Structure 1
């Protein structure tokens, strides 16, 4: 399964980046996240975070790529499925920022997971993009 959500945000890229990388505050932006616990200090390559989402088991995500003020990718593994989430912030074409969130699930159980959880996963990624937009554009 591959998901991609792009949203334009009327806020400077550094503002959006700071919100996006403050993962422990994500529950303030979206109802799709109950709690995030950083397990290894600040977000950077190799850092891990435990993410709790409604109706889903907690998952530990490991940052596999991190470019300050641009993007980060993290990965979570469960039996039969590897989930990779991408987060990218870039300057918008007409000012502000453009954010692209991606989610890919691979492995032998990925098709079954997509069938069972695909609509919830799409809804959650959309909620996260819209929550980031709302928070970044708030005065």
Structure 2
């Protein structure tokens, strides 16, 4: 199963980091790899919530939250013909603040080919997302 994991230590309490991570409505302003995000369901992000996400150089994607551990993590999934992408966001306490871990994995019959085509871009986008959340949490 192709994928990647990226962790960053943040000099801010987990509660603050979580508040930034879960506030997906603000991602287009905070994260340069997110062009736009449209919530398709009212209320706070919850299991079953759907989001339409547009990112540079990638097709528009519909993401559905499949897991949510309030204050700690959420996972969402996007499906297209032949591939399912899972993205997990985990906030943990760490010495001096928090650790944010972003995990991206692909499954499905065309996942290996899709990964070859998007690996570098995905690595850059995940690292940028982590750095952007870190900067926001640390007051940048």
Which category describes the TM-score, using the shorter chain as reference length?
Answer: over 0.9
Matched, 1:68 2:84: no
1:1-139 matches, cutoff 5 A: 1-41=2-42, 42-92=44-94, 94-138=95-139
TM-score (norm 2): 0.95
TM-score (norm 1): 0.96
For the residue of structure 1 that corresponds to 2:47, the secondary structure is coil
Q: Shift in Å at residue 29 of structure 1?
A: 2.0
Q: Shift in Å at residue 70 of structure 1?
A: 0.6
Q: Shift in Å at residue 12 of structure 1?
A: 0.9
Which blocks of at least 5 consecutive residues in structure 2 are unaligned? none
Q: Shift in Å at residue 51 of structure 1?
A: 0.6
When the two chains are superposed, the root-mean-square deviation of aligned CA atoms in Å is 0.9
Residues in 2 aligned to 1:110 and 1:43: alpha-carbon distance in whole angstroms: 27
Which blocks of at least 5 consecutive residues in structure 1 are unaligned? none
Q: Shift in Å at residue 57 of structure 1?
A: 1.1
Question: Paired residues, what number?
Answer: 138
For the residue of structure 2 that corresponds to 1:33, the secondary structure is coil
Residues in 2 aligned to 1:106 and 1:84: alpha-carbon distance in whole angstroms: 8
Q: Shift in Å at residue 134 of structure 1?
A: 0.6
